[in-house]
Amino acid sequence: METIDKISWEIRGDIGIITLDNPPENYLVQPGFVPLETLKKWTSYDYLKGIIICGAGKHFSGGGKLENLFKMIRDKENITESMEKGKAVLEHLENLEIPVVAAIQGICFGGGLEVALSSHIRVCSENALFAFPEINHGVIPGLGGTVRCFGKTGFPKAMKLIMSGDMINAEDAQEMHLVDFIVSKQKVFDFSFNLLQKLTRDRPLPVINAVMKALKNARSLSIEEAMKEETRMFCELALAEAKRRNGSREIQK
Amino acid sequence: MKIPDYSTIRLVLEEGIGQLELNTPPSNAMTMEFFTEFTSVLEFVKNHHAFRALIISGHGRHFSSGADVPVLLREILDKAETDKKGRLTKVPDFLSNNYKSLLMLESFRIPVISAIRGVCLGSALELALFSHFRLCGQDAVFGLPEASFNLVPGLGGIYKLCCISGQALALERVLKGSTFTSIDAMKYRIVDKVVPKKALLSTSSDFAKEVMQDFRVEKRALYIKKYLS
Q: Is B175 on the interface with A (CB under 8 A)?
A: yes
Q: What is the pLDDT of residue A82?
A: 86
Q: Is A25 a catalytic residue?
A: no
Contact B220, B133 (CB under 8 A): yes
Which range, of A30-39, A85-94, B26-35, averages the lowest pLDDT?
A: A30-39
pLDDT tens for each residue of A221-234 = 999 999 999 999 99
3-state DSSP assignment of residue B17: strand
Question: In angstroms, rounded to a whole number, what is the distance separating the alpha carbons of residues A29 and A89?
Answer: 14
Q: Give me the mean pLDDT over the A22-42 stretch.
A: 93
- Report the C-alpha gap between A53 and A55 in whole angstroms: 7
Least confident of A9-18, A155-164, A242-251, B132-141: A242-251
CA B143, B149, B150, B154: dihedral to nearest 10 degrees? Answer: -50
Residue A211 at interface with chain B, using a CB cutoff of 8 Å: yes
Q: Supply φ then ψ for residue A149, to 5 degrees.
A: -70, -45
**Confidence at residue A249, expressed as pLDDT on a 0 to 100 scale:** 63
Q: Categorize the per-residue pLDDT at A253 as very low, low, confident or very high, splitting at 50, 70 and 90.
A: very low
Residues B9-33, mean pLDDT to the nearest whole number? 97
* A173 contact residues in B (CB cutoff 8 A): none
- pLDDT over 70 for what percent of chain B? 100
A128, A110 contact by CB (below 8 A): no
Contact A199/B at CB under 8 A: yes
Distance separating alpha carbons of residues A210 and A161, to the nearest angstrom: 34
Q: Check CB contact under 8 Å for B150 and A244.
A: yes
Bond before B70 cis per omega within 30 degrees: no
Active-site hit among A134, A175, A224, A241: A134
The residue ranges of every structural domain in chain B are 9-144+180-228
Determine which of A8-17, A94-103, A134-143, B140-149 has the lowest per-residue pLDDT on average: A134-143
Chain A, window 157-186: residues with a beta carbon less than 8 angstroms from a chain B beta carbon: 177, 180-181
Residue B117 reports pLDDT greater than 90 = yes
Answer whether B126's CB lies under 8 Å from B146's CB. no
What is the β-pairing status of strands B112-116 and B133-137? parallel
Question: What does CATH list as the number for B9-144+180-228?
Answer: 3.90.226.10
Tens-place pLDDT, residues B60-107:
999 999 999 999 999 999 999 999 998 999 999 999 999 999 999 999
Task: Please count the residue pairs, one from chain A and one from chain B, whose beta carbons lie less than 8 angstroms apart.
Answer: 137
Average pLDDT over residues A56-61: 97
Reduced to 3 states, what is the DSSP secondary structure of residue B135? Answer: strand
Computed over every residue of chain A, the mean pLDDT equals: 93
CA distances in angstroms from A180 to A107, A157, A246, B177, listed in the order given: 17, 16, 41, 19
Q: What is the value of pTM for the model shown? A: 0.95
Q: What are phi and psi of A28, to 5 degrees?
A: -90, 135
pLDDT of residue B51 exceeding 60: yes
B152–A236 CB contact, under 8 Å: no
What's the mean pLDDT when you consider all of chain B?
97
Of the residues A2, A114, A171, A241, only one is catalytic, namely A114
Whether the per-residue pLDDT at A67 is higher than 90: the answer is: no
Residue A251: predicted pLDDT: 44
pLDDT computed for residue A252 by the predictor = 43
pLDDT of residue B2: 94
User: What is the C-alpha separation between A22 and A58, in angstroms, rounded?
Assistant: 11
What gap in Å lies between CA A223 and CA A221, rounded to an integer? Answer: 6
Flag whether residue A41 sits within 8 Å of chain B, measured between CB atoms.
no
- Is A241 an annotated catalytic residue? no
pLDDT digits 0-9 by tens, A121-132 = 999 999 999 999
Chain B partners within 8 Å of A202 (Cβ): 148
Q: What is the largest CA-CA distance in chain A?
A: 75
pLDDT over 70 at A250, yes or no: no
A16 closest CA partner among A108, A91, A105, A119: A119
In angstroms, the first-to-last Cα distance of chain A is 49
List the beta strands (DSSP E) in A96-163. Answer: 100-104, 107-109, 121-125, 129-131
Q: Is A201 on the interface with B (CB under 8 A)?
A: no
Q: Evaluate if residue A98 carries a pLDDT over 80.
A: yes
Task: Kindly state the average pLDDT of the residues A44-71.
Answer: 91
* Beta strand spans in B23-73 (E): 53-58
Give the model confidence (pLDDT) of B155-192 as tens digits. Answer: 999 999 999 999 999 999 999 999 999 999 999 999 99
